[in-house]
Amino acid sequence: MATVTARTLPWYSGSRVKQAMRQARRLPVVPVALLTFLLVIPALLAPQVAPYDPLKGSLAKRLKPPVWEEGGSSAHLLGTDKLGRDLLSRIIYGARVSLAVSAVAIFVGGIIGITLGLMSGYFGGRVDSLIMRLVDISLSLPTILLALVLVAAVGPSFGTVIAVLVVLLWARYARLVRGETLSIKERDFVARARVAGASHTRIMVRYIFPNVVNSLVVLATLQVGYVILLESALSFLGAGLPRPTPAWGLMIADGRELIVTAWWVSMFPGLAIMLTVLALNLLGDWLRDHLDPKLRNV
C-alpha cells in the first residue's frame, strides 16, 4: 500500500518536491550552462542583452567581419550581415524565436498526443486501432512536402510552422503514452480504483498519467532539439518563418551565397543551433538515466 501511495502523490507534494531538488543539484553542468547562455537567457532577456535592434541595419556597415578579424569592430562582436544588421543581436533574438516555436508546438502536440495515447491504451479495441492508424499516417507524412503545401496555401507564418510541427509531434507522444498505459492499467492500484468506483477519466488522470510523467519529460526535452532543427530547416527552405524574422534558419539561408567571402553570416547561427541541440540531447540522456528506475538501479 505504501508503494501505491508514493506512486500517486501529486507533483507538488513535499516528498516529490524534495526529490526534484535533489535531482536538480545533480544536473550536468555543461549542458545546463550551454542551454542557459544560448537559449534561456537570450530568449527571456533579449531586449536587455542584445546590443542592437535585430531588424535595423546600416548599409554602410554591411558584411563587417567579427571583432578578431581584420576590419572588425568591437561595436559588432560577431560582425554584420549583408544588410548591416548586427549578427549577435539577431542570434540572441533568434533564441527567443526558437524557444517560442518549440514551447508552443510541444505543448499543443503533447496535449493532443497524451490525451489520445491515454484513450488508446486504456480503452483498447476499436479506439486503440483507430488512434494507432492515425499515428501511423502522421508518422508517414513527408515533413518538407507538408510544409511546402501549407506555405503554398496560406503563406509562410508562425502558425504554419506550428501546424506542421504539431502534426508531426503528437504521434510520438501518443505512441509513448499508449505503450506505458498498456502496462500501468494492469497494475493492482488501478484495479482497486475500478473496484472503488472511480470513473475512467479519473483513473486515467489520477492514477495512470502521473506514472508516465517521467517518460514525457525525457521525450519533451529531446523534442525541443528536434523542433529547433526542423524549424531551422523549414525556414532555410523558405517554408518556415517569414523574413525579416531573426530565425536561425533564415540567417543561415541569408549567408549561403556569402560562405566564401563572409563565412560568419552562416557560421555563427549554425554554431548556435549545433550547441543548443547538442546540449538538449545531453540533458535528455541524463534525464532518461535518472528518471528511469531500471537504468537508475543499474
pLDDT along the chain (298 residues), means of 10: 45 57 64 80 87 88 88 87 91 91 93 93 90 91 82 82 89 92 88 86 89 87 89 87 88 88 90 89 81 56
Residue 74: per-residue pLDDT:
87
Cβ burial of 109 (10 Å; 0-12, 13-18, 19+) is buried
Q: What's the length of the chain?
A: 298
How far apart are alpha carbons 91 and 39 in whole angstroms?
10
Give residues with Cβ within 8 angstroms of 39, minimum separation 6.
95, 98, 99, 276
The pTM of this model reads 0.83
SS3 242: coil
How far apart are alpha carbons 11 and 287 in whole angstroms?
17
φ and ψ at residue 36, rounded to 5 degrees: -65, -45
Residue 234: per-residue pLDDT:
87
The answer to whether residues 67 and 73 touch, using CB atoms and an 8 Å cutoff, is yes
Give residues with Cβ within 8 angstroms of 137, minimum separation 6.
none
Cell 543548443 belongs to 276
Measure Cα distances from 75 to 57, 68, 96, 195 in Å.
Answer: 13, 12, 22, 70
User: In one letter, which amino acid is 74?
Assistant: S
Give residues with Cβ within 8 angstroms of 38, minimum separation 6.
95, 272, 275, 276, 279
Domains defined for the chain, CATH in brackets: 40-297 (1.10.3720.10)
How far apart are alpha carbons 39 and 66 in whole angstroms?
21
Residue 115 host element (H or E): helix 87-123
**CA dihedral sign of residues 15, 18, 24, 25:** negative
What are the grid coordinates assigned to 62, written together? 554591411
